[in-house]
Structure 1
C-alpha cells in the first residue's frame, strides 16, 4: 500500500481504467492499476485543511496526513459520522476527493465502483453518492455496492468468487459495526449499529489512560487512535511508554497497559454479543436456509478493527462459544483497505 503523498500515473494504458473507492470516516482508500498489470491501494486520512498561499494570497487545499499534522487546530474530518451530513461537509468532501484523485492522476475516462456503508441514513448516503458521482472521474460508469460485500471479496480469494456464494460478512469500522448475509450478491437481513465501533474504542482509551495514570495524563482521540493502531494486540500486547509536556513546564513519562488492552477486549465482547444475539437471530428468522448455509462457511471480518493482531481469532473463539458451535472467521490481508480492493475488482469486471 502506498503513502498518501505519492502519486500514480495510470493514464499510460489504453482504455478506461477500473477504480475502486472507499470514502471512509477515518481513511479514504483508492484501488488503482499499478501500471504493471497489477493493482495497488493508496490510503489517506479523510481530512482537509485550507490555508492562504504566502505569495499569491489564494486559498490552497491540503489533505490527508499532512493536513492533520501541519494544521491540527483547523483540520476538518468531514465524515466523522460516516457520511456527509450537511452542505458544509458535502462541500469539504467534494474538495477533499477532487484533490485526492488529482494527486493520483486518476483519469476522467474511468469506471468507478465505490463502497457504501449499511447505514439507515438515506440523506447521508445520497450525499456520499453526490460527492463521488459528481466528481471528475467515472465518466465511463459509476456504481455503488455495499461496503460489507466489497470488503468480503478479498477475504475469500483473489477473484470475485464471493459474488456467487452464500456467506456472512461483518464490517468492523470506525463509525458502525455492520453485518449482512449475502446470497449471490443479494443482501439478506442487513444489520448496523453505532454502539460498537472503533471510534468508541478510541473514546474508551482516552478515559482508560486517564484512569490508569490516576488523572495525570489527558490524551485526545487522535492520540488514542494512534495508540490503538500502533500497539493494540490481543495476544501479544506489550505495555509501552509515552511522554507529555506538563502545563507548567517539564515533561511526564507514563506507561500505558490497561488503557489499551481493556477497551479492545470490551469491543470484542460487545461485537460478539450484537452478532450472536441480534443479527444472527434476525437472519435465522427471516432466512433460515441461507442462515444455515452461511454459518457452515467462513465468516468474513473486515474494517479497521479487524486489523488489530489476534482480534479476528479471538472474535472467532468467543463467537463459537456464544453460539455453542464451531464457526470460522477469515479476514483479507489488509482489512482496512479491503472494501476498496473489492470495489476495484468489481470495476474491472464491469469494463
Structure 2
C-alpha cells in the first residue's frame, strides 16, 4: 500500500478497534473499512501549516502532500522516534488529529498503539500523551511494545503467539529492537540506535559520493527513496538517475555499490547486535526461556525487513554466527505489522 493510500470512512463504528503505529518515518492506522473488514493507512509522519487564502486561518497539511507541496517548510516531527520537547509534542498532536479527522475515526473506538523499546522515559510519556489525549479511544486506550505488536502477524492469524515464548526483532528507522516474550511478558528488552534504517540512509549518501568519486551528492530523503525502491539482497540491479549540476546542466550516474554495500553492512551489524549483545544477555538472565525461544522462529518486523531477501539473509548469517540453525519469519507487510497486531489486541479488548 502506498503512502496516504486510503479510503475515508463515512460511517464510524462506535465499537471499532483501532491499531496505531506513530512512527518516525511513517504512521500507520489499522481501522475498520465500514464493511466488516479492515484496512491499513500509511502516511508520512510530517506536517506543514499554511494560511487559508480566503479566511486567513491556519491550516494543516500532512503526509506526502505536505512533503511535496511544502518541501521548504515541512516538519518530520518524530525524527528521533519520539516527541522530545513541547514543540514536537504540539506538532505530533496536530498531525495525529489531522489523520483522525481525515479517516473519521470514532471517538468511542478502542485504541491500541505500539510503543518502541527506547530508553527515553520522557519521550515515551510524550507519545502516550499525544495518543491518549486525542479525541479517540474513549472506549479503551492501551499501549503495547512495538516488537510484540509487530510479531503477532508474523506468526499467523489471531493472538496465539501471546501465549508462547518467542523472540522478536524490530528493524526500524530509529532503533533496532530485540526482545523475548514469555506469554506477553518482556524479557531482556534491547535496543540500539546505531543499527537503523536512518543510518543506512546516511551510509548510502556517503557510498554514492565515494562510488561517483565525489561527483554526485544526494540528500538523505533521496537515499531513503533509493533504498526503498531499489534495494534487493538477492536480485539487486544497478540503476541510473540524473542530478542537476550547480553550474547548470545535468549529470547522469549509475548507482551500484552505493546501495548494495550499505545494505550488506546493515545485515552484518544487525546480526552482530542480536547474536553478541541481545541473545547473550537473554541467555544469562533467562536460560530456559532462551532455549525455548530459539527453538521457535524469530519474528523480524519493521521497515528494513521490507527489503526483498533481507530476512532470509539475516537468517543465514545469524545461523552462521550462532553456529546453529535458526528460523526467521516476517509478516506479509513488515512496515504495517505493528499497527495490525495492535488492532488485533484492540479487537480482543472489545
Corresponding residue for 1:63?
62
Corresponding residue for 2:262?
263
| Residue 12 of structure 1, CA deviation | 5.0
For residues 218 and 206 of structure 1, the distance between their equivalents in structure 2, rounded to whole angstroms, comes to: 7
Runs of 4+ in 1 over 2 A off after TM superposition: 5-8, 10-13
For residues 350 and 39 of structure 1, the distance between their equivalents in structure 2, rounded to whole angstroms, comes to: 17
Corresponding residue for 2:307?
308
TM-score, structure 1 normalization: 0.98
Corresponding residue for 2:110?
111
Of 71-80 and 4-13, deviating more is 4-13
| Residue 256 of structure 1, CA deviation | 0.3
Deviation per CA, 1:260-295: give whole Å up to 9, x if none: 000000000000001000000000000000000000
For residues 135 and 33 of structure 2, the distance between their equivalents in structure 1, rounded to whole angstroms, comes to: 20
Is it true that 1:159 corresponds to 2:158 in the alignment?
yes
Correspondence 1:59-98 to 2 at 5 A:
59-98=58-97
SS at structure 1 position matched to 2:50? strand
For residues 157 and 272 of structure 2, the distance between their equivalents in structure 1, rounded to whole angstroms, comes to: 31
SS at structure 2 position matched to 1:218? coil
Deviation per CA, 1:290-311: give whole Å up to 9, x if none: 0000000000000000000000
| Residue 36 of structure 1, CA deviation | 2.3
For residues 25 and 33 of structure 1, the distance between their equivalents in structure 2, rounded to whole angstroms, comes to: 24
SS at structure 2 position matched to 1:82? coil
Corresponding residue for 1:122?
121
- Root-mean-square deviation (Å): 1.0
For residues 126 and 2 of structure 1, the distance between their equivalents in structure 2, rounded to whole angstroms, comes to: 30
- Segments of 5+ residues of structure 2 without an aligned counterpart are none
Is it true that 1:216 corresponds to 2:218 in the alignment?
no
Is it true that 1:231 corresponds to 2:230 in the alignment?
yes
Is it true that 1:333 corresponds to 2:332 in the alignment?
yes
Is it true that 1:344 corresponds to 2:349 in the alignment?
no
Contact 1:84–1:127 (Cα < 8 Å) also in 2: yes
Contact 2:3–2:64 (Cα < 8 Å) also in 1: no
SS at structure 2 position matched to 1:100? helix
| Residue 133 of structure 1, CA deviation | 0.3
For residues 104 and 12 of structure 2, the distance between their equivalents in structure 1, rounded to whole angstroms, comes to: 11
For residues 315 and 101 of structure 2, the distance between their equivalents in structure 1, rounded to whole angstroms, comes to: 41
For residues 87 and 119 of structure 2, the distance between their equivalents in structure 1, rounded to whole angstroms, comes to: 21
For residues 229 and 109 of structure 1, the distance between their equivalents in structure 2, rounded to whole angstroms, comes to: 36
SS at structure 1 position matched to 2:76? coil
TM-score, structure 2 normalization: 0.98
Contact 1:10–1:107 (Cα < 8 Å) also in 2: no
| Residue 11 of structure 1, CA deviation | 2.9
